[in-house]
Amino acid sequence: MGSTVSRIQVLPEELANKIAAGEVVERPASVVKELVENALDAGAGSIVVEIRDGGRRLISVEDDGEGMGPEDALLAFQRHATSKIARPEDLYAIRTLGFRGEALPSIAAVSRVTLTTRRRGDPEGFRVDLEGGVIQRAEAAGCPVGTGLVVRDLFFNMPARRKFLRGAKSETDHIAEVVGRAALGVEDISFRLSAGGRELFRVSGNGGLKERIAGLFGRSLLETLIPVERTWGEMGLKGWISRPDTTRATAREILVFINGRPVRDRVVLHALLEAFRFMGPRDRYPVAVLFLEIPPSGVDVNVHPAKHEVRFVDGAAVHQLVSYGCRAALEAAGIPEAGQGKDPSSDFQSMPTPSQRVAQTAWPAESWDKHHFRSQEAPLRLIPFPASEQGLARLPLVGQFHRSYIVLDGGDELILVDQHAAHERIVFHRLQTEIRRGTASFQRLLVPQVVELPPRKGRVLEKHMDSLRSLGVEVELFGEGSAVVKGLPPHLKDVEMVQMIRDLVDELAEMPSSRCMEQGLDRLLIVLACHGAVRAGQTLESDEMRHLLEELDRVPGARTCPHGRPVVGRFPLSAIEKMFHRR
């Protein structure tokens, strides 16, 4: 076999730095983020940021932190040079914002940098000039205590990257967002940002968090925000959230800090949306500033080169802390529960689940990462059926597929109906309507059924017996853990009783308190509907399918099941023809 000689080479440092820069330095705002983080890590009390031309021409960040001696000032530009960790195990106890030792070399590799720095007590300071990562000059210099970094001509040696930068205005906005966020994470440090000599943002070190939020969101919004505070074990949650009637079209105003680090985290976002799920209008996001304190060993910060993602050791615990904390805060603020005062069914039915919404959420200012959130586009795609279209029962029935889907001929589209999801939606709607009208009924079981529960769950059941009765579920408790089910809503037939009661108790156990009951009831109804609905895998006769479709047509806007999964999907003829190369 002919040999192709391929040799492994260590990349020249300049090149390696440029590659790392691709991860860390996406745009001027990422430079600002890294330099501000360094200033914060250095214990600054005041941070002054100045930019020109959206940061493309100049970024300057000055702090009054601990400064560096001459040796450190030179070392700082070497790859993986950091004063913040020394041993692998330090990665699990990170209290600083930085730790990778990559920012300064990466920034220096793609710009012209001047560093001036002086430690307190040193008679003079030190200055280093670099161009494209190569040191041009290093010498003693007079300067105040602290550190100043001036970054000029970003990407001057990477024309392709330079071309991708947006206009000055847009880059300035991103920088303002980065500085505003950084300021939120720390209460007692003053910040100033100016662009082309004009001041854009300023907070003093003693106005407290509220001043910072007002600076970012405006004072009138601040006044409507609801405080959140909750601890759980060693974890703590603090912050503010908007009332459900104050919403935004994007997640831009959901700011999350973990141990002071601004992050974009899906677990926290999901939990927050979950807390708002039955309240706010769909497709909208609340405003929130949330600070989570988690022991450093419980969170891995070494996940993303730009450090804005983290991984939790116990994500479920974090999720519960956030979702209960926010729900309890809404409750305490006397927010009317789910759907009161508006037509509950219309809002609820087309509400995507928090998971779907998290998947759809692209965090702003991070175009780099957006593709992570976009779903893969399959060539033949199931398109959700519009809620406005009814009349499924009138379409020619093709049959049942996989004993789970009803297949319909929609003329210029092939239509599939998920039988379980459809029935679930129907049962849910019936139960919900009756309960809201106060006409919920129950049917006595011919033979009461006994369900054994662990004592802890028995106590939960006992506490909520009345709410179950209001749903038409009649239960009595014998001893610590034996429940006897005597009656059920008439719509539920052939249910797996044991599993259903256990699921109900699990939901009950999760409910923060009886004051959330309306929202809680919906969750219980979902359990009932799920158990009461025909299963996937169950053969249906034509008339059963037709009957189901007729009922589905009567449920307004029923295009998702109560869990938020689609009920009806369609394959357009055009897509099918494409698949067979007819077009």
Q: Identify whether the C-beta of residue 546 lies closer than 8 Å to the C-beta of residue 358.
A: no
Task: Report the residue number, 257 or 428, with the smaller CB distance to Mg ion.
Answer: 257
Please give the Cα distance from 537 to 556 (Å, whole number).
26
* Kind of pairing between the strands at 288-293 and 254-258: parallel
Task: Report the residue number, 39 or 549, with the smaller CB distance to Mg ion.
Answer: 39
**By CB under 6 A, is residue 63 in contact with ligand ADP?**
yes
Please give the Cα distance from 173 to 461 (Å, whole number).
53
Q: Could you tell me which stretch among 102-110, 486-494, 496-504, 560-568 binds ligand ADP (CB under 6 A)?
A: 102-110
**Least distance between Mg ion and beta carbon 105 (Å):** 10
**By CB under 6 A, is residue 68 in contact with ligand ADP?**
yes
Q: Which of 29, 42, 288, 392 binds ligand ADP (CB under 6 A)?
A: 42
Task: Report the residue number, 309 or 331, with the smaller CB distance to ligand ADP.
Answer: 309
Please give the Cα distance from 411 to 573 (Å, whole number).
8
**By CB under 6 A, is residue 103 in contact with ligand ADP?**
yes
**Least distance between Mg ion and beta carbon 38 (Å):** 4
Q: Could you tell me which stretch among 103-111, 192-200, 293-301, 435-443 binds Mg ion (CB under 5 A)?
A: 103-111
Please give the Cα distance from 149 to 128 (Å, whole number).
10
* Kind of pairing between the strands at 288-293 and 58-63: unpaired
Strands (DSSP E) along 402-537, which ranges? Answer: 405-409, 413-418, 443-452, 474-478, 482-488
**Burial annotation 255-271 (CB, 10 A radius, 16+ → b, else e):** bbbbbbbbbbbbbbbbb
Task: Report the residue number, 97 or 421, with the smaller CB distance to ligand ADP.
Answer: 97
Q: Identify whether the C-beta of residue 535 lies closer than 8 Å to the C-beta of residue 406.
A: no
| β-pair partners for 240 | 227, 289
**Least distance between ligand ADP and beta carbon 123 (Å):** 18
**By CB under 6 A, is residue 38 in contact with ligand ADP?**
yes
**Among residue numbers 18 through 47, which ones bind Mg ion (CB under 5 A)?**
38
Q: Identify whether the C-beta of residue 348 lies closer than 8 Å to the C-beta of residue 339.
A: yes
Q: Which of 55, 98, 239, 339 binds Mg ion (CB under 5 A)?
A: 98
Q: Identify whether the C-beta of residue 487 lies closer than 8 Å to the C-beta of residue 475.
A: no
**By CB under 6 A, is residue 98 in contact with ligand ADP?**
yes
Helix locations, 186-276, DSSP H: 208-217, 219-224, 266-276
Please give the Cα distance from 348 to 288 (Å, whole number).
22
**Least distance between Mg ion and beta carbon 182 (Å):** 12
**By CB under 6 A, is residue 84 in contact with ligand ADP?**
yes
According to DSSP, residue 105 is labeled: H
Sign of CA dihedral 556, 562, 564, 566: negative
DSSP string over 20-85:
HHHHH-SSHHHHHHHHHHHHHHTT-SEEEEEEEGGGTSEEEEEE-S----HHHHHHTTSTT--SS-
**Among residue numbers 454 through 473, which ones bind Mg ion (CB under 5 A)?**
none
Task: Report the residue number, 48 or 516, with the smaller CB distance to ligand ADP.
Answer: 48
**By CB under 5 A, is residue 96 in contact with Mg ion?**
no
**By CB under 6 A, is residue 39 in contact with ligand ADP?**
yes
Structure tokens at 569: 């999907």
Q: Which of 28, 54, 55, 65 binds ligand ADP (CB under 6 A)?
A: 65
- By Cβ distance, which residue is nearest to Mg ion? 98
Please give the Cα distance from 436 to 581 (Å, whole number).
52
Task: Report the residue number, 38 or 361, with the smaller CB distance to Mg ion.
Answer: 38
**By CB under 6 A, is residue 66 in contact with ligand ADP?**
yes
**By CB under 6 A, is residue 147 in contact with ligand ADP?**
yes
Q: Which of 25, 48, 51, 103 binds Mg ion (CB under 5 A)?
A: 103
Long-range CB pairs of 349-352 (<8 Å, 24+ gap) are: 349/387, 349/425, 349/429, 349/555, 349/556, 349/557, 349/558, 349/559, 349/560, 350/282, 350/387, 350/557, 350/559, 350/560, 351/277, 351/278, 351/282, 351/560, 351/564, 352/282, 352/283, 352/560, 352/564
**Least distance between ligand ADP and beta carbon 514 (Å):** 49
**By CB under 6 A, is residue 133 in contact with ligand ADP?**
no
**By CB under 6 A, is residue 568 in contact with ligand ADP?**
no
Which residues does 324 contact at the CB level (< 8 Å), separation at least 6?
230, 275, 512
**Among residue numbers 174 through 203, which ones bind ligand ADP (CB under 6 A)?**
none
**By CB under 6 A, is residue 13 in contact with ligand ADP?**
no
Q: Could you tell me which stretch among 49-57, 92-100, 132-140, 315-323 binds Mg ion (CB under 5 A)?
A: 92-100
Which of ligand ADP, Mg ion, none does residue 83 bind (CB under 5 to 8 Å by kind)?
ligand ADP
**By CB under 6 A, is residue 330 in contact with ligand ADP?**
no
Which of Mg ion, ligand ADP, none does residue 195 bind (CB under 5 to 8 Å by kind)?
none
**Least distance between ligand ADP and beta carbon 332 (Å):** 40
Q: Could you tell me which stretch among 34-42, 152-160, 339-347, 472-480 binds ligand ADP (CB under 6 A)?
A: 34-42
The dihedrals phi and psi of 556, each to the nearest 5 degrees, come to -65, 135
**By CB under 6 A, is residue 23 in contact with ligand ADP?**
no
Q: How many CB atoms lie within 10 A of CB 215?
A: 18
Interface residues with ligand ADP (CB under 6 A) are 34, 38-39, 41-42, 63, 65-68, 76, 81-84, 98-104, 147
Interface residues with Mg ion (CB under 5 A) are 38, 98, 103
